[in-house]
Amino acid sequence: MRMQASNIKSLKSDNRALILDEIRKTPCSRAQLAETTHLTRSAITMIVQELIEEDILKETQALHSGRGRRQVLLDIVDDHKLALGLSLHRQEITVVLTDLRCRQIEKTSKLTRAFAGISNGEAVVGDRADGADGVLEWAQDAMQGMITRHGLKRSDLVGVGISSPGPLRLSEGLILEPIDFPLFHNYPVVAKVQDCHFMFADDTEDLVNSDHDARAALNVSLDNNAVLLAMRELYQVAGQIARHRHILFVTISRGIGSCLINNGQIYRGAAGYAGELGHTSINSTGRPCSCGNFGCLERYATLQELKNFFGFDSYEVVVDLAYNGISKTIAIIEQIAEWLSAALVNAVNLFDLDAVVIYGELNYRPQLLMDMIRKRVNQRSLISRAHQVEVYASGYDDKTAAEASTAGIIDAWFKQKF
């Protein structure tokens, strides 16, 4: 009987997760849920009612069915739970508090060089471990401040999400050796955050005076920043990439990363390191890269490399002039499209993608660049003979990048993984 009860409980949890996963993508009716999840109407009705009573779901505007009937749409209660995020970036460290849509409630940041002892781009003082531990001390204080100011209980949080450049060893919560990010090389960041001591509004005096180990630990997750940015975009309401199933999400910042979405799911590869588009070569005899290869896309298409090569100070000015028909600046945009397309055509052919989404430094007035890339990809890829490949600019900019740090821990909560 215990086995049967366990199976029933597990099945119910799976069905709850299935329903929540559909609704967070876009509000939908009970009838639509039955169609997309293949659950019975009675199961949908029962589970939805429970989720409404638990204040996880809410009924919202009515949908005209076309037969004179109005179907009530269901949506997520965005602030039913909150999440803390720690965004580790080569330029800036950020702590953020978000709702279940990864929307910022509060945020605070500090320049990375303040912890690393960096001056003019070179480390001059301080030890790597001390610097990384200093980040965690600052982050703990920042998180505690948010918990206190918002009067949060432990049950109010789904946990803490951490974003970092890769490579990462996710199973161990370990940052390995990201290029140009020595501050966190071989750093067990998940274990460090799990050891942080937080005080919540519902902590009793006995709990406050007890050993830290006796406290219920917060759920903590680590993931690659490109994966988390893609995850946030994939699950946002009315996101344009939601109608695609095979997507490459490309991030262009100080480096170039990517996340492959295969049939609607994140593809990680054998050891979780998939997505290094920036270290695919577009010229085997080209510029040497710090990874050991030659002609890596990162050595051509990041903003700093473009500034060095073309000699401009402002990408925004280049784009504005290109829209005004200045031939020299149009040629610069064409060359950027050429370099990016060289890597993207290979990716499209390898993985049979139906969409590419580009995020980051090159997304100022992006339509001209996206059109040039789309044209090249669809002219040169074998896959385009079977179907068109869409190329989009991300709907987000770098001002909201830190909010994506909570996307993984929120995803785990929606999928009822804890």
End-to-end CA distance of the chain: 24
| Predicted local distance difference test score (pLDDT) of residue 118 | 44
Residue type, 9: K
How does residue 80 score in pLDDT terms, banded at 50, 70 and 90? very high
Section 387-399 average pLDDT: 91
No. of H helices and E strands in the chain? 14, 16
| Predicted local distance difference test score (pLDDT) of residue 399 | 82
pLDDT at 6 over 70: no
Q: Residue 102 and residue 403: Cα distance in Å, rounded?
A: 6
| Predicted local distance difference test score (pLDDT) of residue 25 | 82
pLDDT at 206 over 70: no
pLDDT at 85 over 70: yes
Torsion angle in degrees (nearest 10) through CA of 410, 411, 414, 418:
-80
Contact 267, 260 (CB under 8 A): yes
| Predicted local distance difference test score (pLDDT) of residue 355 | 95
How does residue 418 score in pLDDT terms, banded at 50, 70 and 90? low
What does the pLDDT look like over 349-363, one tens digit per residue? 999 999 999 999 999
3-class secondary structure for 211-260?
A: CHHHCCCCCEEEEEHHHHHHHHHHCCCCCHHHHCCCEEEEEECCCEEEEE
The residue among 152 and 4 whose pLDDT is bigger is: 152
Q: Is 319 left (phi over 0), alpha (psi -120 to 50) or beta?
A: alpha
Provide the residue ranges of all domains of the chain, joining segments of one domain with +. Answer: 2-76, 82-227, 240-394
Section 84-105 average pLDDT: 95
What does the pLDDT look like over 41-61, one tens digit per residue? 999 999 999 999 999 999 987
pTM, entire model: 0.85
What does the pLDDT look like over 394-409, one tens digit per residue? 988 888 899 999 999 9
What does the pLDDT look like over 186-203, one tens digit per residue? 999 999 999 998 999 988
Contact 169, 272 (CB under 8 A): yes
Fold classification of 240-394 (topology level): Nucleotidyltransferase; domain 5 (3.30.420)
> Which residues fall within 8 angstroms of residue 238, CB to CB, at 6 or more apart?
26
| Predicted local distance difference test score (pLDDT) of residue 205 | 57
pLDDT at 99 over 70: yes
Contact 191, 140 (CB under 8 A): no
Q: Residue 360 and residue 223: Cα distance in Å, rounded?
A: 18
Please state which CATH class domain 2-76 belongs to: mainly alpha
Structure tokens that stand for 96 in this block? 């953020």
pLDDT at 68 over 60: no
Report, at the CATH architecture level, how domain 82-227 is classified: 2-Layer Sandwich (3.30)
The residue among 122 and 344 whose pLDDT is bigger is: 344
| Predicted local distance difference test score (pLDDT) of residue 125 | 34
Section 50-75 average pLDDT: 82
Structure tokens that stand for 42 in this block? 């009675």
| Predicted local distance difference test score (pLDDT) of residue 124 | 36
Q: Cis omega (within 30 of 0) on the bond before 167?
A: yes
- Fold match between domain 82-227 and domain 240-394: yes
How does residue 65 score in pLDDT terms, banded at 50, 70 and 90? low
Q: State how beta strands 390-393 and 70-76 pair.
A: unpaired
pLDDT at 2 over 80: no
The percent of residues in the chain predicted with pLDDT above 90, rounded, is: 69
pLDDT at 121 over 50: no
| Predicted local distance difference test score (pLDDT) of residue 119 | 40
| Predicted local distance difference test score (pLDDT) of residue 211 | 54
Matching residue, tokens 């990408």: 315
How does residue 123 score in pLDDT terms, banded at 50, 70 and 90? very low
| Predicted local distance difference test score (pLDDT) of residue 270 | 83
Structure tokens that stand for 57 in this block? 């779901």
| Predicted local distance difference test score (pLDDT) of residue 210 | 57
Contact 346, 278 (CB under 8 A): no
**What is the number of other CB atoms lying within 10 angstroms of the CB of residue 155?**
10
pLDDT at 214 over 70: no
Q: What is the mean pLDDT of the chain?
A: 88
How does residue 1 score in pLDDT terms, banded at 50, 70 and 90? very low
DSSP string, 308-322: HHH--S-HHHHHHHH
